[in-house]
Amino acid sequence: MIRFIDEYRDRFGVELICRVLRPAVRGFVTARGYRAAKTRVPSARALRDELLVPEVARLHAENYGVYGRRKMHALLRRQGWDIGRDQTERLMRLAEVRGVRRSKKVFTTKPDPAQAKPKDLVQRRFTAPGPRRLWVADVTYVATWSGFAYVAFVTDVYSRRIVGWNVAATLKADILPLQALNMAAWTAGGKLDGLVHHADHGSNYLAVVYTDRIVELGAEPSTGTVGDSYDNALA
């Protein structure tokens, strides 16, 4: 609060700033409180914070912005600062930095034992005599600063090209893989007669909305196993 007033007092005046902001900002000081604070001798803690807050911000940036309290505390200790973990956490809040949390293991394929499964028409023979004869579909994920983004894609076995893809924050069949399939179908001209569509038997690929769309396009569905890197080696 004091720094805010220091920055704008020449433009608006101390009394006006305090009168306008005090009702809106909890804990905002009065004009008298501001002047008392300016004449008060800074405490040892305040002086130490003046030194450490920019140091914490610098170290956090130098370590790619991923250090949390534990690693930042250890780093400051190695550099000779006598500091505790709680103090480190407080300084990180003042510096407006935080660590990157580890996420739980991400599952891109969720099997559903109750769903009917098409036969495996591929048997790991990922070859095709021409384009639009065999497509392989799969889902992967990409870690971002705000969480995980899921990527569904469809690969033409003959050309080894990705002919359809979609990115979403959810694995729902009607949002993620279906849009990738529709893109691939549009690229192919809209009709897939004689084509085999192969995927693992995760619930997103066995969903009615997805399998119905495969049949509607004239293709024949095929499924392998769940999460098998050999089975979906091409994808």
pLDDT digits (tens, 9 = 90+) for 136-179: 999 887 776 666 788 899 999 999 999 999 998 877 767 789 99
- Does the pLDDT value for residue 217 go beyond 90? yes
Delimiting residues of CATH 3.30.420.10 domain(s) in the chain = 103-235
Across 23-43, average pLDDT? 67
Residue 91: partners with Cβ closer than 8 Å, 6 or more residues away: 49, 52, 53, 56, 83
pLDDT at 229: 44
Q: Is the pLDDT of residue 23 over 90?
A: no
* Alpha-carbon radius of gyration of the chain: 29
Nearest to 172 by CA among 217, 221, 205, 138: 205
Quote the percentage of the chain above a pLDDT of 70: 79
What pLDDT, on the 0 to 100 scale, is given for residue 145?
67
Cα(151)–Cα(180) distance, rounded to whole angstroms? Answer: 9
At 79, which amino acid appears? Q
Interval 62-112: pLDDT, tens: 877 778 888 899 999 988 889 999 999 999 998 888 876 655 555 555 555
Non-local (6+) Cβ contacts of 190 within 8 A are 217
Which CATH number does the domain 103-235 belong to among 3.30.420.10, 3.40.50.1100, 3.80.30.20, 3.40.50.2000? Answer: 3.30.420.10
pLDDT band at 202 (very low <50, low <70, confident <90, very high): confident
Which tokens is 71 given?
């690693």
| pLDDT of res. 28 | 56
* pTM of the predicted protein model: 0.52
What single-letter amino acid sits at 81? W
Sheet of strand 220-223, all strands in order from the earlier edge strand to the far edge = 161-168, 147-156, 134-144, 196-199, 220-223
Distance CA 113, CA 233 (A): 23
